[in-house]
């Protein structure tokens, strides 16, 4: 029997420890995409932002890709309403991720795993690809972990994911963790400071961390769930943090095959140490 309950609030599934009431985070969806929000440290501090005013489509922990091409058809799955302007090119050929209702919810000893079935539809509501997304929210004594895996299936023909900065899986960081608020960006080999201090293509991980006067340190770390991969990262001091393999080249998938990527996100209290990194990262 699991120690965790799933509490449904509107379309958000919150994962809560039965005895203590500790909330790990939530999984939800709107008309345009699914994403993870909120996401809490063990002490209850949120480490991701639901959206930013100037980028309303940077939603918590999310998947996006633009463009996606199948034959002569193309759609963009990065921007999502509300619009930012009348001339925003991110809203041309706008697709949406149609999350099916048959989400699988699997409680286990330390958390809950969700499996979402998603149809990526173009501007005419025609399907381009299918996606199987798994989200495993679970607890450690000193951290909360979210493992997110996105498997994109070429169910409707050969797929091309062209080289772009608009992809593929990442997060919008809580503003209190950012350099403008006194926070730091951290990479491996003791690199710490702002984004310019981190070689964002090779680090084993990327973390954002700050110190609250009445609490101490807290932060969020992300690392790739594949020991052979180290970036490329797309990270910004304003809080956009992605793993984007299409940043350096296109990815193609033959019909009926799939492209699978996964990240681990760790919400933690207290300072990040090499020992904690080694425990959490797939190295």
Count of alpha carbons within 13 angstroms of residue 84, beta-carbon side: 16
Least confidently predicted of 59-63, 154-158, 169-173, 193-197: 193-197
**In terms of C-beta density within 10 A (0-12 exposed, 13-18 middle, 19 or more buried), how is residue 2 classed?**
middle
Q: Which CATH fold topology does 4-280 show?
A: Beta-galactosidase; Chain A, domain 5 (2.70.98)
Closest CA to 131 of 57, 59, 36, 64: 64
Closest CA to 264 of 273, 253, 276, 249: 276
Domain ranges of the chain: 4-280
Mean pLDDT on 28-46? 96
Q: What is the pLDDT of residues 247-268, one digit of tens each?
A: 999 999 999 999 999 999 999 9
Q: Is the pLDDT of residue 283 over 60?
A: no
If one counts every other C-beta atom within 10 angstroms of the C-beta of residue 268, the result is 25
Judged by phi (left if over 0) then psi (alpha if -120 to 50, else beta), residue 129 lies in beta
Q: Tokens at residue 43, please?
A: 């002490």
Question: Which H helix or E strand runs over 79?
Answer: none
Please indicate, yes or no, whether the overall pTM of this predicted structure exceeds 0.85: yes
């Amino acid at each position: 029997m699991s120690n965790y309950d799933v509490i449904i609030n509107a379309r958000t599934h919150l994962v809560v420890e039965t005895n203590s009431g500790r909330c790990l985070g939530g999984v939800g969806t709107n008309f345009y995409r699914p994403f993870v929000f909120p996401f809490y440290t063990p002490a209850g501090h949120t480490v991701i932002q639901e959206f930013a005013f100037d980028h309303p489509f940077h939603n918590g922990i999310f998947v996006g890709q633009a463009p996606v091409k199948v034959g002569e058809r193309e759609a963009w799955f990065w921007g999502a309403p509300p619009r930012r302007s009348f001339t925003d090119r991110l809203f041309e050929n706008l697709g949406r991720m149609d999350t099916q209702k048959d989400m699988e919810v699997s409680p286990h000893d330390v958390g809950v795993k969700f499996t979402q079935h998603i149809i990526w539809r173009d501007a005419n509501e025609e399907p381009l690809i299918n996606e199987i997304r798994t989200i495993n929210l679970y607890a450690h004594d000193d951290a909360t972990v979210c493992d997110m895996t996105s498997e994109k299936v070429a169910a409707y023909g050969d797929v091309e994911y062209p080289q772009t900065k608009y992809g593929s899986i990442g997060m919008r960081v809580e503003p209190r963790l950012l350099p403008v608020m006194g926070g730091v960006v951290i990479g491996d080999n003791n690199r710490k400071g702002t984004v310019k201090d981190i070689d964002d293509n090779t680090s084993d991980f990327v973390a954002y961390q700050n110190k609250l006067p009445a609490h101490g340190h807290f932060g969020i770390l992300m690392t790739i769930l594949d020991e052979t991969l180290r970036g490329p990262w797309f990270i910004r001091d304003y809080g956009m943090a992605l793993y984007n393999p299409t940043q350096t080249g296109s990815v193609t998938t033959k019909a009926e095959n799939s492209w699978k990527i996964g990240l681990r996100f760790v919400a933690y209290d207290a300072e990040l140490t090499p020992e904690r990194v080694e425990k959490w990262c797939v190295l």
